[in-house]
Amino acid sequence: MVEALVTQALRALSRTDGPAFRACAAELAARREHLVDRLLTTRLQEGVTAAWHRGWQPADVARHTGRSHGARHRRLVVDVIAAESRAYPAATVDALWRAQLSALGARVWWTRDDELPSAWCRRERVDRAALLVCALEVLHLLATLPRLPRLGPLPGEPARATAAPVDERILAKVRALLAKAESTEFPEEAEALSARAQELMARHSIDHALLAADDTGAASAPAGRRLAVDAPYESPKAALLTVVAEADRCRAVWHRELGFSTVLGFPADLAAVEMLFTSLLVQTSAAMARAGAQRDADGRSRTRSFRHAFLNAYAARIGERLREAADRALHVAEHAARDSAAAGAAPARGRLLPALAARDRAVDRAVDELFPDLVRGRARAVSDYAGWVAGRAAADLASLDSRSEIAGRTP
């Protein structure tokens, strides 16, 4: 009977039949507590496992749950993820998967699984009826997740061979530069810092490409990660992520309805994309806040159209500047290769461009394999000229890179 009531509740949610759903939830609340709790706990963990097989990862599920239902539902699904994760030996869980679990704070904080529902109610300060509604809604969401391309091994599967990890010292330097760019009150300083961060990561990417070219037996293949593209102004934010990805030899595919983009590329490049995109969002939010609310000649608000135009222009100009920074890093690498060859070292210049081209082809193949039906969308028209001009100006002042500062040289 409990199983039948849960099935009826999920069907009611699929039909958006609120009265029928509430009736099923009320009937479940009247049933024997331990039977209902045990069934829901089992079904929720099975739903999480099924989500992994449909290509979802822990961060994706938590983000989508919060976006669809709110913070309380997100906390419940994170707890379910923590419980489900105990089934896998640590050696069979991919490093990136473990990093997502850690970032989510997915840990078992209750004593026994049969105590989770009551412990959860105490922590959330809600009654049992609220727990049942929340659990059923999470269960329905898990059952209706669309299929996504798999970006790595599932927990429990043999770990795959990966490329060399990103140098944490480089990442720390880039993070420090971008933090300065976000906090400075001087736009010119922010511009210099951000541009240097891009050049540093571009140079790091080139070094990785040459290392892989030298070691033909190295396991080096494109990987993927999903980055949130949140409301408001999702379209220009997705455009910004696209230009950041392309400047770092990656590709971004926007899942409009799900609120994120899948970015494909090599590990060092993916790290650069995530850090720089996050920093640029902070910088552009600050720039729009400084611009303030906008009104037309009749006093009507035009803030939304202004900010939409602002972000589109910002993305376009940032794309230009990132490509310039990447080109500078490539020029420096080629110059260094010529110097090393002249000094009698093993020539690297002849391998550099072929190595980078091979990486580009590998990323393109990965996109084609994972997204065979991919179509290119068209950006919405921009209607606010002032917002466009302001966005271009803000992009000119945004911080992008750090290599010269770290090396102790002027750009």
Q: Which tens digit of pLDDT belongs to each residue from 373-403?
A: 887 665 555 555 555 556 666 666 665 643 3
Choice among 119-128, 135-144, 253-262, 270-279 with the minimum mean pLDDT: 270-279
**What's phi and psi for 358, nearest 5 deg?**
-65, -40
Give the CA distances from residue 216 to residues 212, 213, 221, 329, in Å, rounded to whole numbers and listed in that order: 6, 6, 12, 24
Half-sphere exposure of 119 (CA within 13 A, CB side): 12
**CA gap 359, 370 in Å, rounded:** 17
Residue 341's CB is within 10 A of a number of other CB atoms, namely: 14
Rounded Cα distance, 65 and 144, in Å = 12
pLDDT-wise least confident of 38-52, 90-104, 174-188: 174-188
63-106 pLDDT, tens digit per residue, is 999 999 999 999 999 999 999 999 999 889 988 899 999 999 99
Please say if the pLDDT value at position 286 is more than 60: yes
Exposed, middle or buried by CB within 10 Å (0-12, 13-18, 19+), for 174?
buried
Distance CA 137, CA 126 (A): 16
212 has pLDDT over 80: no
Whole-number Å distance between alpha carbons of 314 and 282: 13
pLDDT(128) > 50: yes
